[in-house]
Structure formats: C-alpha cells, structure tokens
Amino acid sequence: MEKSERIIRTIIGAEKANTHALALSVEVMADLLFRQKIPMDDIYVGSDVYPVVAKRSGKSLTAATRQIERTANLCLDALHSPLAKQYIGRTISARPTPRMLIIYLAFYVHFDKPFFEVIQEHPSLLF
C-alpha cells in the first residue's frame, strides 16, 4: 500500500488529506482486477471495495466511503493535463468518477503504466 499512498500524495500534495482509505481502496481494486481476475464492469465500489476498506480500517462503511470519495475528489481536482497524462495516459475532458479514479490508480500501481497505455497494449483487460 506504500506505493498507492506515495502516488496519491504525489498527486494531491504531501499534507492535504488522509490518503490511507483511498490507497487501501486502490489496493483492493487491484486485487479484484489482477489477482481475482474480476472484470472491471463487474466490480462495484459500494459493495466490493468500500466495505473491505471499512473493515480493514476499522471505520463504519459511511465514514470510509466519505473519506475515500473526499480524497478521490482532491485527486481529481489536482489531475490537470500533465498529471492526467502521467497517471491516466491521456488528458480527460469529462471528470471521472471516484470509481474510475480508483481503477486508473490500480492500473498504475499494478503495471507502473497509465491506464490507457495498458489498455492499448492489452485490450482484453477491459473484459
């Protein structure tokens, strides 16, 4: 989880938020996608990711969800063109959801490459 937290801190800055819950959600998502091989469209953050984060962090589901989404929104606010290209693989015109940010970061953590570069090389990962 250290890598996830480091990436999130790089995006939002060192002291802006508690990144633990979002970093844990990225790790859970990566586990679901790459170890358990669950297709991206079959993963629901509300039932597959956030409850695991709540349990592991000792928080209520509501508190964990709020903390994840607040920190995800800080990341999304900070992902202007150069950072978006670095972590997502291209600039984005529409604001992604916190779920998609978690997926983008899970891909980056797992492959050390942005989401869209990985998808271009391995389109089967979408299904």
Domain range annotation of the chain: 2-126
Indicate the DSSP class of residue 96: P
Q: What is the rounded end-to-end Cα distance, in angstroms, of the chain?
A: 26
pLDDT of residue 82: 77
> Which has the closest alpha carbon to 42: 29, 51, 54, 55?
29
pLDDT of residue 94: 85
CATH class of the domain whose range is 2-126? mainly alpha
Mean pLDDT (10-residue bins), the chain, 127 residues: 88 81 97 94 96 96 96 89 82 88 96 93 77
The verdict on pTM exceeding 0.85 is yes
pLDDT of residue 17: 75
**What average pLDDT is seen over the chain?**
91
